[in-house]
Every structure is written in C-alpha cells, then in structure tokens.
Structure 1
Amino acid sequence: MTVEIDQPDVVAEVSAAFARYENALTTNDIATLDELFRDDPKTIRYGIGENLYGYDAIAAFRSARSPVGLMRQLAKTVITAYGWDTAVASTLFLRETAPGKVGRQMQTWVRFPEGWRIVAAHVSVIDEPKH
C-alpha cells in the first residue's frame, strides 16, 4: 500500500481548517473550537497544564478558560497530509505575555462525513532556545 503524502487539495483543506481553528482560538469562539474537535470519548487534548480525555472534558475546559491573553504569533507551521483523510498540523507560537517562552502545538486531523476534525492535540511551552 502506498500512502500519498501532501496531496495539494488535502493540504489546502486542512490548512483552511487550521486557520479557522486559530481564529476561533484567539477570538475565544468556543462554538467553533468545540465543532473542530471530534465529538468522541477517544478524542484527546494534552494541554499546558491539563490532560483532557474525551470531547466532553475538552469542551468543559474551553468553556471555563479565561478569554484574556489569547493572541499569539505563529511560526514554522507545517501541515502534512497522509493520504486523503489524515493530516498533522504542527506550529510554534509566541505570546507577548510570555517573553522567553515558545509554545508548541500539534494536532492530528481526520476527515469525517461532517468535515475535518481534530482527534488528538498536544500543547506545551518551553524556554525559548538560545541560538
């Protein structure tokens, strides 16, 4: 079996979904954030200070989170598609409220009948590497 990597149409679709997610995140659009995570008990999000197992836990976290300080600048975003229905989005992010720190985010996206959804996500923050 050969898996086609980075089909342009798939990369474009996931890039659009990722941009939609980023806009929802920075504007605290909880409805869109909830929509973009797969509504499934097997969906996982490891956050900076929390491990969330299942869609319900992720949605509860989103609704309780403070909307302050969500703006960020992305860097080195990479979207890689594996076949027609799976992709990984990886990015670094910087926040003015966290000088000297760099955030890292990875999301696994899967195409379902209702559209592209995140099934697994990981967010972490490290000290900004010294050059």
Structure 2
Amino acid sequence: MKINDALLVAEVTEQFERYERALMADDLAEMDALFHDAPTTVRYGVGEVLYGMAEIREFRKGRGGSPQRRLGRVAISVFGSDLATTNAEFFREGTDRRGRQSQTWVRFPDGWKIVAAHVSMEGQTS
C-alpha cells in the first residue's frame, strides 16, 4: 500500500480546504456535499453526537453557523488510493484555547467524502 501519494494528498487537501471555507461561511449545501450521505456517517462534536446525515443536517440547520476560527497545525495522510485522514488544530476567535478536528475521508465514485468526524476542545488549564 502506498502512503501519502503526493497527488492524492493534494486532492484531499483541496477538499479539506473546501470544507473549511464552507464551515466558516455556514454554507450548508457545500458542507452536506462533502459528507457521505448515509446513515453510517458519524459526527461527534463539542456538545453533540450525531449518527447519519439526517441528524447532521438537522444539527447544522439549528446551530446558526460555526464559531469563527483560525487553523493551527494540519496533518493530512492518505492510505492507498481511497482512504484519508485529516487532523487539525484550531483556535476560536478571541481565545487561545485549542480545539481539535479529525475527519476520515473515503473516495467514492462521486469524489472524496467525510464518513466520520470528531470535534473537541481541550480542557481548561490551571
């Protein structure tokens, strides 16, 4: 198995950046297009646990957009030709508290899609 084929890393990076732009613009249609539309898709957020695209869509419609943020370190890895992971640190506006986002991407006939995502914030430090 080839790991981190440069062309595939570039493809996934482009999709990751597309998702980030959609998230910051609260572009629900674009975010939905980047998630695999299936009951097996999972998203764990800071305060929610969502199973399937129906739950993910309902959550997004009700939250009124994501808090604005800037990215820190981003790590993107591709395993073979159809599986990738993205991991990013982020910082919400007005704070240095670090958040973390991980996504699992699979290449389907219609392109790269997120099949699992997790978002969390680091605990308070003393």
Q: Same fold (TM over 0.5)?
A: yes
Shift of the alpha carbon at 1:65?
A: 1.2
Partner of 1:65: 63
- Map Cα deviations across residues 7-33 of structure 1 (whole Å, 9 max, x no partner): 011100000000000000000000000
In the TM superposition, structure 1's runs of 4+ consecutive aligned residues that sit over 4 Å from their partners are none
Shift of the alpha carbon at 1:129?
A: 6.6
Partner of 2:15: 17
Shift of the alpha carbon at 1:100?
A: 4.0
Percent of residue pairs bearing the same amino acid type: 47
Q: CA RMSD in A?
A: 1.5
Unaligned segments of structure 2, at least 5 residues: none
- Map Cα deviations across residues 23-62 of structure 1 (whole Å, 9 max, x no partner): 0000000000011110000000000000000011011111
Instruction: State how 1:19-58 maps to structure 2 within 5 Å.
Output: 19-58=17-56
Distance between the aligned counterparts of 1:62 and 1:81, measured in 2? 28
Letter of the structure 1 residue corresponding to residue 88 of structure 2: T
What TM-score do you get using the length of structure 1 for normalisation? 0.91
Letter of the structure 2 residue corresponding to residue 118 of structure 1: I
Which of 113, 117, 130 is the equivalent residue of 2:109? Answer: 113
Q: Tell me the SS of whatever aligns to 1:5.
A: coil
Partner of 2:120: 124
What TM-score do you get using the length of structure 2 for normalisation? 0.94
Unaligned segments of structure 1, at least 5 residues: none
Contact 1:30 1:62 in 2 (8 A): yes
CA 1:129/1:55 → structure 2, altered by over 3 Å: closer, same or farther?
Answer: same
Partner of 2:81: 84
Shift of the alpha carbon at 1:66?
A: 1.7
Distance between the aligned counterparts of 1:119 and 1:52, measured in 2? 12
Q: Tell me the SS of whatever aligns to 1:94.
A: strand
